[in-house]
Structure 1
Amino acid sequence: MKKDTENKLLNKNTKPTSMRILVYDFLAAQKVALSLSEIEEQLHFADRITIYRTLKTFEEKGIIHGVQENSTTKYILCSDDCGEDTHKDWHLHFYCKMCKQTTCREHIIFSEGMAGEFRIDEVRLFAKGICEDCLNDSLQ
């Protein structure tokens, strides 16, 4: 797994340091977007500033994307086709008001073709509601 992570980082022109490998592997194991504080809680042995710098580097290199949730940024891995120049982050980000988790809904997208004769550099699709897990739990 470490070699896979190293290769993924190298493919994104990112030097695979121990901290970067640790943060990447941690984020790869998550299904929801996490804030810096949430990541820091789990990687409590690591320095907050180093984690923050790693996240910023990952964002610049197209490895993760930040999701703005109220006044907090949460981070989640990008798809492999994102890069330094363009993030293919044109899908819905969904926040569940019950479990307080943010997830990517990649099947709900804004198509680049909708731009027409103008250029769109960034799209932020964000919705709040109740996820399917919480809805199912509330019905039982």
Structure 2
Amino acid sequence: MKDVYLHKLSLRDIKPTAMRLLILRTMMEMRRAVSMADLEEKLDTVDKSTIFRTLTLFLSHHLIHGVDDGSGSLKYAVCEDCCMCTVEDQHMHFYCEHCHKTYCIRSVHAPSVTLPEGFMQTGINYVIKGICADCAVHKGIDTDD
């Protein structure tokens, strides 16, 4: 499995270090967009500045993307191998108002919008808010309605 993490770093021309591999592995294992605080809690022996520097490096090499889900805390998610974080690569995110987790919904691309003349789009923030499947089950909410 370590090869998966090495491959992802290699694709983005990022030198693999033990800390970078640890942070990438942790992000991928969490299977959702994570905040800096989430990583600090999960990696309690890792210095906060090391996590921040690693996230900044990952962002600059398009290994991860940032998600502003409206919670007041930027979240980060690992990109697909073919993603270059262009407008065309952007997808929907889902923010659960119960557990406060944010998920990438890669199967739903962000819609294209025709802007007035002179305007240039550089990004899209497409976030749906509601209750995630896990919380719906635990709260007994029927999501088929």
Give the alignment's TM-score, normalised by structure 1: 0.85
Report the counterpart of residue 63 of structure 2 in structure 1: 63
How many pairs were matched up?
Answer: 138
The equivalences for 1:1-140 within 5 A come to 1-69=1-69, 70-83=71-84, 86=86, 89-111=89-111, 120-139=121-140
Higher strand proportion (structure 1 or 2): 1
Conserved? CA contact 1:95–1:129, under 8 Å: yes
Gaps of 5+ in 2: none
Q: Deviations over 1:44-103 (max 9, x none)?
A: 1111101101001111111111111332111111111123x7365421111111121111
Give the counterpart letter for 2:58 in structure 1. F
Conserved? CA contact 1:92–1:105, under 8 Å: yes
Q: RMSD of the alignment, in Å?
A: 2.3
CA 1:101–1:2 in structure 2 vs 1: closer, same or farther (change >3 Å)? same
Conserved? CA contact 1:67–1:74, under 8 Å: yes
Conserved? CA contact 2:11–2:81, under 8 Å: no
Give the counterpart letter for 1:27 in structure 2. M
Percent of paired sites with the same residue: 36
Q: For 2:17 and 2:130, how far apart are their aligned partners in 1?
A: 38
Q: For 1:120 and 1:81, how far apart are their aligned partners in 2?
A: 21
Q: For 1:134 and 1:3, how far apart are their aligned partners in 2?
A: 33
Q: CA deviation at 1:115?
A: 5.1
CA 1:82–1:47 in structure 2 vs 1: closer, same or farther (change >3 Å)? same
CA 1:99–1:39 in structure 2 vs 1: closer, same or farther (change >3 Å)? same
Give the counterpart letter for 1:3 in structure 2. D
